[in-house]
Structure 1
Amino acid sequence: MLGMHFTPVEVFHRYIMPQIRDHLNDYLWVDMFCGEGNLILPMLDYIDRDRRGEFFRDHIMCFDIDESAVERSIENAMKYGIPQEMARRNIRTRDTLMDYPVLSGRYPVFHITNPPYLYLGYIRKRKDARRHQEYFEGQNDGYQDLYQIAMMNDLRHGIGNMIYIIPSNFFFSDAGTRKIREDFLKIYRIGSCYIFERRIFPSTGTNVMILSFQRSQSPVESIEFDAIRINKHEEKKRYVLRSENNFKPDNEYQDYIRAHFRPDHPVVKFYLTYDEIGKNPGNNRVVLVNSKEYRHGEYERETFSVNDDLYARIKSNPLYVRTVDKGTREGRSGIYSIIRDFGADGIFVKGPTYRTSPIQIFIDPPLSANEALKLMEIFNRTLNDLRERSDSDFMTTYKYSDSAAYVRKYLGLKQVRGIMSTISLEDLKDGASSTDL
């Protein structure tokens, strides 16, 4: 199944077992997306061999949609001494996203899982993934990823305790995870959190986190917890998630934007479209970057002839947004000069807009060249100060890269507007450099 990433056994022993060691006999341990069983079966290492069969029968239940994965999980259970018939009874093939099982017994359920990750936007674009759209219908309308449906299934079935391995953008994304955070974190508190800023799955560059959840007896307004951020070393950080900020760890950013709002800020619009160029033919030559065509390490440039109005609009807006960190110190997200970086007059997009491509920005009221340079300097300084204060937690985590000097982040256009709203037009008039853009 698309979106599945099997979990290394070491993840269980190092990060999960210490959390549950004292409670092995208190729960029915369930994995709805068990793969080869690496998040549940290794607990048998901590059970005396002569008790493993009884423990497995009473305390372990696993499911997966993939029949071959279920067979491998059964084989792994047998390696622990579990009889095949018993293993087949407690490890079953089932589409638990669509058909949640009835879990009855004398022990409460504790769900430990690494669910599938598959973003709805990706599903809609890929023919081989479109069959997954049915998961997002009915009560799941509005959620954006398969793992979010897994979490909501647990919520609807009253599960009290869970440990999930999910993309770290559950915290750090905005539109893609806002609904699941608002719906889920009003009901569950976070007990522990490990944020991985290095690769743990060989088959994907997705940054992940391990979270433990406990169901709350009353509606949750604020969640406080310590997280361990894991990269080349481990670092502890205190997080406070507030319902007023959609449970997103961007309090420093939001507080700064609210406190420094300037009524006379520049108004920014995004994108020069191919359609707009076609509707404004003329005799003025412009060289434009095609943001969709990237070959041999650079974007392709095309020449157009446009009318006076569009020519003036392009030439008076010499800045663009780099929304994704390149992974180098000088390649961080921010606002930059089109002529310096691309040797072109502007940047256009043809067809659907991609927010990870360079995007030309258009400022109202129009700025002089010096004012535009000053805007770039103030914006990037403010952005980098906020990143330093918050460890970039207000930005969306981008794909993991082995060669990056830091965790790559995505700067949303909403955040660009937010930082712009803290800059006064008066700020752009003093001490501006005359350096060419």
Structure 2
Amino acid sequence: MANKNSLKGDEKSKRRAFGTHMTSIDIFMEFIYPEVKEKLKDYIWVDLYAGEGNLILPLLNNIDPEEREDFFRNHIFLFDIQKKMVKNCISNATRYGISESIARSNIQVSDSLESFPDFLKMLNKPVYHITNPPYLYLGYISKHESTKNLLRYFKKKNSGYQDLYQIAMMNDLRNDLKNLIYIIPTNFLYGASVSNKFRTNFLKYYNIWKMIIFETRMFRFTGTNICIGFFQRKSNPQHDINAFNGIKIFANGENSERRYVLEPKFKYRAGSEFITFLKKFKATKPLKVSYYLLAEEVNKNLGENEVTLLDANKYNNGNYKRLKCNVNENLYKKINANILYVRTVDTGSKDGRVGLNIIEEDFNVNGILVSGNTYRTHPIHIFLTPEIPIEKQILLKKYFNFLLESFRTKLDSEFLTTYKYSNASYTRKYLGLNQVRNLIETFPFNMNEIEKLELNKIIDDNQFPETLNFLEKLRF
């Protein structure tokens, strides 16, 4: 008898290999069906990544039993790359009263990322594509032997895209599909480098008319936060502002609704108000920011001055390894003159949110060493040019974290990338290093003593609008 844990591992590996996450019928019935129930006989209902058919087959519940087979034959086509999924899907169709022969005809094995079923274009009604496509990030794919075969999808016309779901959606664009409902990662809305190229290309041709965003786990085997996007093709492709209603659904069952406005000048990324602030208030002569204390730099600057370093690459049992190094005078001064590090990923605790922090306070060391590869999710030592006094670095920390938290409150953190679902009291977010640099670049480090006191008081009094007024005043 097979080991149960081994079977679970095999299932997880297979899901990773295909980038698949099975969708429940409940998701379809609650969030998708209300939007399509009046249109059932107007479209060909297609899922190119159908799994077990849970996003299309439930439509049959609303067709009279004596009409179901005819409706299925003429209105439903399902595809999946996995033979097992197709077999399960056919079996599920028969439970709705569809004969096995008809089910086999309209449910087929197909690699839809590789090629689109062209016969769908020749049918007498337009296609309405509802799907939970495969999604797997290119960075993960390229680092794991079990998924490297998926690199073939990212070549030629798909070069530059960052996730399998983007390949799926671009295939729909190229095949002129008019109506789409996609269950996809929320990095579609919030991601920067992972989504900028794709959003810019895709939203030239499609409008989002509704978005449902889940701030809770939706799939058992992935912590990825997802959204359901409702898309309609534009009559004339163009880069224009896309405004739509978005509904956020939280783990406690509550939800909130707000108007989203995506602008092409910001690559259609949600949270553009934060980007506008960064551009408007960039200092005339900003601080220059560099990241990481690399082992190579330490080895080139050995000497007689002892520093205690935290090794960001050596983390065990909840603690980072600490080591003592002897460095020359220049590196010793550089390390001790730069007291800040950036936490780029929320830990999930109140005190563990992204932002700037003081190295010695949090780790009781002088600096943070990178002994191996650099990782954006590790604590990262920040180096500023020109060097500024310690007291100004402390003010920079207050300023940075105050503005960051104020914008998170105002914009519901939507300018940050969702990291992954957890049981934390809030949705964990990732702060990009470009965002860190750009926010530091708004800090007016040449303030005189009176201006420093004024800024300190504004922050201590939690006056977000006054902070903007203060920065506005310094611009002129």
Question: Distance between the aligned counterparts of 1:87 and 1:166, measured in 2?
Answer: 27
Range that drifts further, 74-83 or 247-256 = 247-256
Question: Distance between the aligned counterparts of 1:180 and 1:279, measured in 2?
Answer: 41
Asked if residue 209 in structure 1 is aligned to residue 189 in structure 2, the reply is no
**Unmatched 5+ residue regions in structure 1?**
none
Range that drifts further, 119-128 or 287-296 = 287-296
1:326 Cα deviation after fit: 0.8
Asked if residue 246 in structure 1 is aligned to residue 243 in structure 2, the reply is no
Q: Which amino acid aligns with 1:413?
A: L
Question: Distance between the aligned counterparts of 2:227 and 2:240, measured in 1?
Answer: 22
Question: Distance between the aligned counterparts of 1:235 and 1:75, measured in 2?
Answer: 38
Secondary structure of the residue that 1:174 maps to in structure 2?
coil
Asked if residue 168 in structure 1 is aligned to residue 189 in structure 2, the reply is no
Secondary structure of the residue that 1:261 maps to in structure 2?
coil
Range that drifts further, 28-37 or 270-279 = 270-279
Alignment counterpart, residue 381 of structure 1, candidates 402, 410, 431: 402
1:258 Cα deviation after fit: 2.5
1:428 Cα deviation after fit: 7.8
1:222 Cα deviation after fit: 0.6
1:63-96: CA deviations, max 9, x gaps?
A: 0001101110010000101000110111111111
1:265 Cα deviation after fit: 2.6
Alignment counterpart, residue 355 of structure 1, candidates 368, 376, 385: 376
Asked if residue 141 in structure 1 is aligned to residue 162 in structure 2, the reply is no
Of Structure 1 and Structure 2, the greater helix share is in 2
Structure 1 vs Structure 2 CA RMSD: 1.2
Alignment counterpart, residue 309 of structure 1, candidates 326, 330, 333: 330
Secondary structure of the residue that 1:372 maps to in structure 2?
helix
Question: Distance between the aligned counterparts of 2:18 and 2:329, measured in 1?
Answer: 50
Aligned to 1:118: 136
Question: Distance between the aligned counterparts of 2:87 and 2:447, measured in 1?
Answer: 66
Asked if residue 95 in structure 1 is aligned to residue 111 in structure 2, the reply is yes
Question: Distance between the aligned counterparts of 1:76 and 1:359, measured in 2?
Answer: 51
Flag as ranges the 4+ runs of structure 1 deviating above 4 A. Answer: none
Secondary structure of the residue that 2:217 maps to in structure 1?
coil
Question: Distance between the aligned counterparts of 1:177 and 1:346, measured in 2?
Answer: 33
1:279 Cα deviation after fit: 1.2
Question: Distance between the aligned counterparts of 1:362 and 1:428, measured in 2?
Answer: 22
Alignment counterpart, residue 188 of structure 1, candidates 181, 188, 206: 206
Secondary structure of the residue that 2:290 maps to in structure 1?
strand
Question: Distance between the aligned counterparts of 1:293 and 1:65, measured in 2?
Answer: 40
CA contact (8 A) 2:348 2:426 kept: yes
Question: Distance between the aligned counterparts of 1:11 and 1:220, measured in 2?
Answer: 32
After the TM superposition, which residues 365-404 of structure 1 pair with which residues of structure 2 at under 5 Å, given as runs? 365-402=386-423, 404=424
Question: Distance between the aligned counterparts of 1:11 and 1:341, measured in 2?
Answer: 43
Question: Distance between the aligned counterparts of 2:223 and 2:214, measured in 1?
Answer: 11
Q: Which amino acid aligns with 1:423?
A: F
1:343-393: CA deviations, max 9, x gaps?
A: 111111133211011100001111222111111111111111111111111
CA contact (8 A) 2:313 2:373 kept: no
Question: Distance between the aligned counterparts of 2:447 and 2:180, measured in 1?
Answer: 50
Aligned to 2:321: 300
Question: Distance between the aligned counterparts of 2:206 and 2:82, measured in 1?
Answer: 29
| Percent sequence identity over aligned pairs | 44
Question: Distance between the aligned counterparts of 1:264 and 1:141, measured in 2?
Answer: 37
Secondary structure of the residue that 2:442 maps to in structure 1?
coil
CA contact (8 A) 1:375 1:428 kept: no
CA contact (8 A) 1:123 1:133 kept: yes
Secondary structure of the residue that 1:363 maps to in structure 2?
strand
Aligned to 2:92: 76
Measured at CA, do residues 428 and 129 of structure 1 come closer, stay the same or move farther in structure 2, by a change above 3 Å?
farther
1:118 Cα deviation after fit: 0.7
Question: Distance between the aligned counterparts of 1:285 and 1:292, measured in 2?
Answer: 21
Asked if residue 129 in structure 1 is aligned to residue 150 in structure 2, the reply is no
Question: Distance between the aligned counterparts of 1:107 and 1:350, measured in 2?
Answer: 60
Question: Distance between the aligned counterparts of 2:18 and 2:96, measured in 1?
Answer: 29
1:51 Cα deviation after fit: 0.8
Q: Which amino acid aligns with 2:194?
A: G
Aligned to 1:422: 442
Q: Which amino acid aligns with 1:65?
A: I
Task: Count the aligned residue pairs.
Answer: 432
1:156 Cα deviation after fit: 0.2
Asked if residue 412 in structure 1 is aligned to residue 432 in structure 2, the reply is yes
CA contact (8 A) 1:338 1:345 kept: yes
Secondary structure of the residue that 1:425 maps to in structure 2?
coil
Secondary structure of the residue that 1:98 maps to in structure 2?
coil
1:181 Cα deviation after fit: 0.1
Aligned to 1:270: 291
1:202-252: CA deviations, max 9, x gaps?
A: 110000000010000121411000100000211001100011110001221
CA contact (8 A) 2:312 2:370 kept: yes
1:15-59: CA deviations, max 9, x gaps?
A: 010000000000000001000101011111111111110110000
Asked if residue 50 in structure 1 is aligned to residue 66 in structure 2, the reply is yes
Range that drifts further, 285-294 or 133-142 = 285-294
Question: Distance between the aligned counterparts of 1:261 and 1:254, measured in 2?
Answer: 11
Range that drifts further, 146-155 or 102-111 = 102-111
Question: Distance between the aligned counterparts of 1:351 and 1:131, measured in 2?
Answer: 27
Question: Distance between the aligned counterparts of 1:303 and 1:19, measured in 2?
Answer: 62
**Unmatched 5+ residue regions in structure 2?**
1-16, 457-476
Question: Distance between the aligned counterparts of 2:130 and 2:20, measured in 1?
Answer: 15
1:76-122: CA deviations, max 9, x gaps?
A: 00010100011011111111101211113111001000001111111
Range that drifts further, 259-268 or 329-338 = 259-268
Q: Which amino acid aligns with 1:76?
A: N
1:144-189: CA deviations, max 9, x gaps?
A: 0000000000000000000000000101010010011000001000
Secondary structure of the residue that 2:116 maps to in structure 1?
coil
Secondary structure of the residue that 2:219 maps to in structure 1?
coil
The normalised TM-score by structure 2 is: 0.89
1:301 Cα deviation after fit: 1.4
Question: Distance between the aligned counterparts of 2:62 and 2:351, measured in 1?
Answer: 49
